[in-house]
Structure 1
């Protein structure tokens, strides 16, 4: 039984989060079909120097509902700002994975003076390519029809989150085999009520607005991280964001897939530490 997380009521619904460590604040934003637990290695590494806030977004992890008024990722970004207010957090660095990176970017656009730094891991802030939209709509339609993520469907979805070289990575680190299996099993644990919320969030994440035209406003320290052996995002998208965000840094992680922070945790953590060490949190 997982430990019950903290929560705050935002727009009349409980939003769950973890809060560990002390010091400058880092807010972790997971992507679609993951949860705050994906950041465990990073929190273990950073919480001795930083206060780490990891959110379970609507329909994910322990957050099983969604406010009726939530219609898009801009609304979700505003809700993260509300959480910051409720926790008396004046400013923070933001790290986002997948659609969490798009939420993080929206957050910077809304409140640039409150964000010290931005890290985007396998994210893209432009329109989702049409070919992806069609593929994801098909998967979501199957989930909606079955009102669950079946074991068979989990076996289709799970590999998309890991490296094309996952078998080689498991040979290098046997613990990854259990991680892959756990992720696949967790996909099947969504309740029917949570599935409805998850699908609404998925629709917002897939059909997000294009913020590439606004990235010139992202003048804060930014790290763009791209996996080179993933299925869900392309390195070209990260190159495009890097080129568009003045002064940003680009980190390529070889062999890793969508969950590079898990597959290559030591490498990712070291680069994250090096980047955050240079940030002015005052």
Structure 2
């Protein structure tokens, strides 16, 4: 069942989000090419005791535009803080996936008193390795040339988001097969009007600034999670961030790739519940 979204006008554009549950607030930030829908399993579990707010970032999902004044992930972080103001949420924890983890970190650096806990799933806050930048630019060039998401590229990208043996495993795992099909469909459903905002956002995500040294100053509870069988992020990157952030927890998730929260939902949810129970929202 899909998350039901509504919108607020932020920076003169409609920013869509799901808002479920009551209690201390948690903001979910997906990564590049994903959407708020990736968090369904987490929200189903956590909304029992938390207010779960999951945003469709600019150019993604139902947030099909991008403000002209939004030029980098710091601007996105500012827009999300404005969303939390509009929702009258004074303090909250942030769970970020991929570049959503970098955006979450920018929020912490901007408003350290408001963000009480930070979870980064398959994220990296340093510069994107050059080899990745070239590869990702190649993908985006195909989208730009077609002014759509080509079916063949959608299939290739979907494989990159799941674990290396996910396609094989999905032959006898119906839930995984459905998740793979849904993610692929989400990519092919990207509308022509969405292409330009999405490409600009992708450029901002790929060429984000390096905040590794800045996060050394973070003192909030932090959980760093990484899928051990993925294509897009490496355990080494999670070690680097874990070393930089004093007191952070490191979670390695076996048999999972970039969307580890979907492939190993029960395990990830249990670690989230344990982590959030120790966050001081007062």
TM-score under structure 1 length normalisation: 0.97
Matches within 5 A, 1:30-109: 30-109=30-109
Displacement after TM superposition at 1:169 (Å): 4.0
Structure 1 partner of 2:246: 246
Contact 1:169 1:263 in 2 (8 A): no
Structure 1 partner of 2:161: 161
Matches within 5 A, 1:224-235: 224-235=224-235
Q: How many residues align?
A: 282
Contact 1:212 1:241 in 2 (8 A): yes
In angstroms, what is the RMSD of aligned CA positions?
Answer: 1.3
Displacement after TM superposition at 1:168 (Å): 5.5
Matched position secondary structure for 2:208: coil
Alignment of 1:15 onto 2:19: no
Alignment of 1:223 onto 2:188: no
| Alpha-carbon separation, structure 1, partners of 2:4 and 2:228 | 36
Structure 2 partner of 1:261: 261
Matched position secondary structure for 1:112: coil
Moved more, 192-201 or 4-13: 4-13
* Cα deviation code 1:18-69 (max 9, x no counterpart): 1000000000000000000000000000001000000000010100011100
Q: 1:167/1:150 Cα in 2 relative to 1: closer, same or farther (>3 Å)? A: closer
* Cα deviation code 1:144-163 (max 9, x no counterpart): 00000111111111100000
Structure 2 partner of 1:271: 271
Displacement after TM superposition at 1:88 (Å): 0.7
Contact 1:34 1:60 in 2 (8 A): yes
* Cα deviation code 1:61-114 (max 9, x no counterpart): 100011100000000000111011111100000000000000000000000000
Matched position secondary structure for 2:113: helix
| Alpha-carbon separation, structure 2, partners of 1:32 and 1:247 | 28
Q: 1:169/1:264 Cα in 2 relative to 1: closer, same or farther (>3 Å)? A: farther
Displacement after TM superposition at 1:173 (Å): 3.2
Structure 2 partner of 1:139: 139
Contact 1:59 1:66 in 2 (8 A): yes
* Cα deviation code 1:216-240 (max 9, x no counterpart): 1211000000110000000100000
| Alpha-carbon separation, structure 2, partners of 1:115 and 1:143 | 35
Structure 1 partner of 2:123: 123
Q: Which runs of 5+ in 1 are unaligned?
A: none
Matched position secondary structure for 1:212: coil
Q: 1:205/1:91 Cα in 2 relative to 1: closer, same or farther (>3 Å)? A: same
| Alpha-carbon separation, structure 1, partners of 2:246 and 2:3 | 41
Matched position secondary structure for 2:53: strand
Contact 2:31 2:98 in 1 (8 A): yes
